[in-house]
Amino acid sequence: MNKGNAKASILIVDDESSVRGIILRKLTQVGYYCDEAANGNIALKKIDERDFDLVLLDISMPVKSGTEVLQEIASKYPDIAVIMVTAISNVETAIQSMKLGAYDYIIKPVELNILMLSVNRALEKRRLVRENRDYQLHLEKKVQEQTEKIRESFLNSIMSLAVALEAKDEYTRGHSERVTSSAVVIAREMGLPDEMVEKIRLASLVHDIGKIGVSESILGKPGKLTEDEYRHVMAHCEIGERILRPIVEDEEILEMVRHHHERYDGTGYPDGLAADPNANGARSSKQSGDPVMKRFSVGSRLLAVIDAYDAMTSNRPYRKALDIEVARAEMEKGKGRQFDPKIVDIFLRVSDGLVAGHQKRSHADKLT
Ligand SMILES: [Fe+2]
């Protein structure tokens, strides 16, 4: 809380009682609350007991020098303004004291007008510093609140998009949700940091959002797709990234959406990025001539595994769901070609529980 300077409390520390008396009278007259201390130890005790705004501190005192007292005040109570009071012979020390945090120094014999000027300035500066700090704290809190609101509305937008896609394409109904729950489990099993797990969760929810831009007749076509139609479907990765970019600032989430159909050996789409450093098919590396092959992220590799498995084990307009064992064998076969082998191993190892859950759900889907 800010106190007006007229009500500020000031401690006068000096071993000479006459000096204390003169200063105390003057400051009390103009409305300050004042207390006094005859040495450093008494002063520190009083400061411990009461909230002072300003300390007038004599440098040359028995028991503890003003400089020592200043150091203790500065480390324990950095909010207290300190003005050093010194004999002319000690001006050098007074100047040094300002480096230790004193606001100003005044020379004895104390001229009351100069004292008042210095006291008022020190209190004003202290008030501004505290106001500024309070403002910063307030601002940080405001920014945090705003960030939370933006995050919430971002999550709501993501959810609406996911719902919109599922309403459009009955064959992907439940797909995003299943992929998301599996992706989170596998990401945790892989020991990825919480922040990355959350990004994978969000990316999984909307990884196929670009299908909103693919015609329904193609998405629901019961037969084999023509080459043109297939190209159209493949575009959903890039369309998804474009749809999300205005609301998703996080490049890693966008990257996962764009690259969830890349393949480990570099023959996937849309960019033909490889994850295997020995792969031959990475188009981007050939195009750019970059000797360091551009790879797609661990999140995309994980999403690619889970997305493909869920697609295999779901009914599609053009084929029935594969049996779990057949799908698992396909995943094994795809290791090192379509899929990151380590992720497939982890997925197959932990997927028994997930598979059981999915089976239950797809059985329920068939009943409704
Ligand atoms: Fe997809």
pLDDT tens readout for residues 330-362: 999 999 999 999 999 999 999 876 555 555 555
Contact 46, 76 (CB under 8 A): no
Sorted by sequence, the CB contacts under 8 Å of residue 86 that are 6+ apart come out as: 58, 59, 60, 66, 93, 94, 105, 106, 107, 108
Between 201 and 289, residue with greater pLDDT:
201
- Chain centroid to CA 231: how far? 38
Q: How far is the CA of 257 from the centre of ligand 1 (A)?
A: 8
Q: How confident is the model at residue 140 (pLDDT cuts 50, 70, 90)?
A: confident
pLDDT score of 37 more than 80: yes
pLDDT at 248: 84
Q: How far is the CA of 268 from the centre of ligand 1 (A)?
A: 12
pLDDT at 358: 55
Residue 60: burial class (beta carbons within 10 Å; 0-12, 13-18, 19+) = middle
- Express each pLDDT in 47-67 by its tens digit: 999 999 999 999 999 889 999
Q: How far is the CA of 72 from the centre of ligand 1 (A)?
A: 65
Angle between helices 298-312 and 251-259 in degrees, nearest 10 = 40
- Measured CA to CA in angstroms, residue 122 lies from 14, 49, 97, 103, 266 at distances of 19, 22, 15, 6, 68
Q: How far is the CA of 189 from the centre of ligand 1 (A)?
A: 23
Q: How far is the CA of 329 from the centre of ligand 1 (A)?
A: 21
Q: How far is the CA of 259 from the centre of ligand 1 (A)?
A: 9
* Domains of the chain: residue spans and CATH: 5-138 (3.40.50.2300), 169-367 (1.10.3210.10)
Residue 13: burial class (beta carbons within 10 Å; 0-12, 13-18, 19+) = buried
Spatial CA neighbour of 299 closest among 253, 352, 264, 248: 253
Q: Which residues surround ligand 1, an ion (CB under 5 A)?
A: 208
Q: How far is the CA of 368 from the centre of ligand 1 (A)?
A: 25
- Measured CA to CA in angstroms, residue 365 lies from 106, 183, 187, 324, 343 at distances of 85, 21, 27, 17, 28
Contact 344, 305 (CB under 8 A): yes
Element (H, E) at 82: strand 81-86
Q: How far is the CA of 37 from the centre of ligand 1 (A)?
A: 77
Contact 275, 297 (CB under 8 A): no
Q: How far is the CA of 234 from the centre of ligand 1 (A)?
A: 8
Report H helices in 50-111: 66-76, 91-99
Residue whose structure tokens are 């207290």:
80
pLDDT score of 169 more than 90: no
Going across the sheet that includes 81-86, the strands are 33-37, 9-13, 54-58, 81-86, 104-107
Paired tokens of 11? 């401690």
pTM for this predicted structure = 0.58
